[in-house]
Amino acid sequence: MSNFTQNPFASTHSLDANPFDDPTPYASNSVLPKDDSATRLEALSQRERDLERREQELNQKAEHIRKHGRNNWPFFYPLIFHSIPDEIPEASRPLITRLYQLWLVLAGTLVINMVACIFILVAGAAGGGSDLGSSIGYLLVITPLSFLLWYRPIYNGYMKEQALYYYLYFFFGGFHLLYSIYMIIGIPSTGSAGLIQTIRMFTGHHWVAAIIGIIATVGWVIQGLGNAFYYRQIWAHHKAAGHSVEKAKTELATHGAKAYFTRG
């Protein structure tokens, strides 16, 4: 009889030990939603902070443009807006900065080349007049065209990441590399104070013309080799980005030539 009275309690006790009354599963399951919610909240918070930072940067740029104007280059007669820190993605800024520096080397070399041709004319070299005339033409024409036809396209290419600008750069940048080789050689009567002209000045004991010719030749070599080096890097980037002629045609049809002069 006593066994009978104990069994129900034993049975009830076993029921109480049933997993249905064990809070452990509920506790373990309730942790995951809390962790997921915390992760989502942290991600949303980080996204909000990124958006706020981006908005602040845009506001600062807009305020800078409002105060100082859109055009800031060239400094002596601003015609366009040019700002590598403001317009080029951070990862690409070193490359574009180097290309801009190479363009400055080119501009300086054209000036030195013209001065060398003046001294070549003074030295009485045959074709000295042609050299001087051509060198002046190079300074007046190559300086702006090189900026507009190969530097500006690659600047826009990295800013907007559009295929059309890369193909413009490859076309005109390739011609510039050939032009650099032509100027390094220094054929007489062509407006170049390159190697051949410099050697002639040395052999004729025209030391000033020879020394300035060396400086011009070094300038042509530096900007030529530098542009060739970055030409290869840009080609690799262009292939990795998946740009194509078809994409360039679509961009041209969509945006037109005016996209070259806009910041969007």
Tell me the per-residue pLDDT of 44-92, one tens digit each, with 9 for 90 and over. Answer: 888 788 777 877 776 777 666 655 557 889 988 998 999 999 999 999 9
Distance from C-alpha of 232 to C-alpha of 222, rounded to nearest angstrom: 16
**Helices 163-185 + 152-160 axis angle, to 10:** 150
pLDDT band at 259 (very low <50, low <70, confident <90, very high): low
Q: Which of 244, 262, 90, 256 is nearest to 167 (CA)?
A: 244
Average pLDDT over residues 8-13: 47
Residue 191 pLDDT exceeds 90: yes
pLDDT at 254: 81
Residue 214 pLDDT exceeds 80: yes
Characterise 83 by phi-psi region: left (phi > 0), alpha (psi -120 to 50), beta (else). Answer: beta
pLDDT at 64: 64
The whole model's pTM is what? Answer: 0.73
Q: Within a 10 A sphere around the Cβ of 21, how many other Cβ atoms? A: 8
What is the share, in percent, of the chain residues with pLDDT greater than 90? Answer: 60
Which of 67-71, 74-78, 145-149, 241-245 is modeled with the greatest confidence?
A: 145-149
Q: Which of 175, 166, 146 is nearest to 235 (CA)?
A: 166
